[in-house]
With several copies, the nearest count.
Chain A
Amino acid sequence: MLTLYGIELASHLLLGTAQYPSPAILMEAIKASGTGVATVSLRRETAGGSSGDRFWSLIRSSGVRILPNTAGCHTVKEAVLTAQMARDLFATDWIKLEVIGNHDTLQPDVFALVEAARVLTDDGFKVFPYTTDDLVVAERLIGAGCEVLMPWCAPIGSAQGPLNLHALRSLRGHFPDIPMIVDAGLGRPSHAATVMELGFDAILLNTAVAKAGDPVAMAHAFAKATEAGHAAHRAGMLEPRDVAVPSTPVIGTAVFS
Chain B
Amino acid sequence: MKLIVNGETRDVAAHFLDALLTELQFEGDWLATALNGELVRSTERPECLLKEGDRVEILTPRQGG
B-contacting residues, A4-37, CB 8 Å: 16-20, 26
- Which B residues between 17 and 65 are near A, CB-CB below 8 angstroms? 24-34, 37-39, 41-42, 57-65
How many residues of A are counted as interface, with CB atoms below 8 angstroms from the partner's CB atoms? 47
Instruction: List B contacts of A59 (CB < 8 A).
Output: 61
Which of A83-91, A169-177, A223-231, A235-243 has 4 or more CB atoms under 8 Å from chain B? A83-91
A contact set with B: CB distance below 8 Å: 16-20, 26, 39-53, 55-56, 59, 68-69, 71, 77, 81, 84-86, 88-90, 156, 206-207, 246-249, 252, 254-257
Query: Are B28 and A53 in contact (CB-based, < 8 A)?
Result: yes
The minimal Cβ–Cβ distance linking B60 to chain A, given in whole angstroms, is 3
User: Which residues of A lie under 8 Å from residue B34 when comparing CB positions?
Assistant: 81, 85, 254, 256
> B37 and A89: CB pair below 8 A?
no
Measured in the bound complex, the distance between the Cα atoms of B39 and A77 in whole Å is 11
Contact A207 B65 (CB under 8 A): yes
B24 touches A47 (CB 8 A): yes
* Cβ contacts A to B, 30 pairs, < 8 Å: A16-B63, A17-B63, A18-B63, A19-B65, A42-B61, A42-B62, A43-B59, A44-B6, A44-B57, A45-B31, A50-B27, A50-B28, A53-B29, A53-B60, A55-B62, A55-B63, A56-B60, A59-B61, A71-B64, A85-B33, A85-B59, A88-B39, A90-B61, A246-B65, A247-B64, A247-B65, A254-B57, A255-B57, A256-B34, A257-B37
Evaluate contact between B62 and A40: CB separation under 8 angstroms: yes
Chain A positions within 8 Å of B57 at CB level: 44, 85, 254-256
CA distance A41 to B64 in the complex (A): 5
Interface contact B62-A252, CB-CB below 8 Å = yes
Q: Which residues of B contact A254 (CB under 8 A)?
A: 6, 34, 57, 59
Q: How far does the Cβ of A182 sit from chain B's closest Cβ, in whole Å? A: 14
Q: How far is the CA of A68 from the CA of B59 in the complex (A)?
A: 13
In angstroms, Cα B34 to Cα A156, docked, is: 28
Task: With both chains docked as a complex, state the minimum distance between the C-beta of B41 and any C-beta of chain A, in angstroms.
Answer: 5
- Expressed in whole angstroms, the Cα–Cα distance for A77 and B24 within the complex equals 27
Tell me the complex Cα distance, A254–B7, Å: 8
B contact residues around A56 at 8 Å (CB): 30, 60-61
Give Cα A84 to B33, complex, Å: 10
In the bound complex, what is the Cα–Cα distance between A19 and B65 (angstroms)? Answer: 9
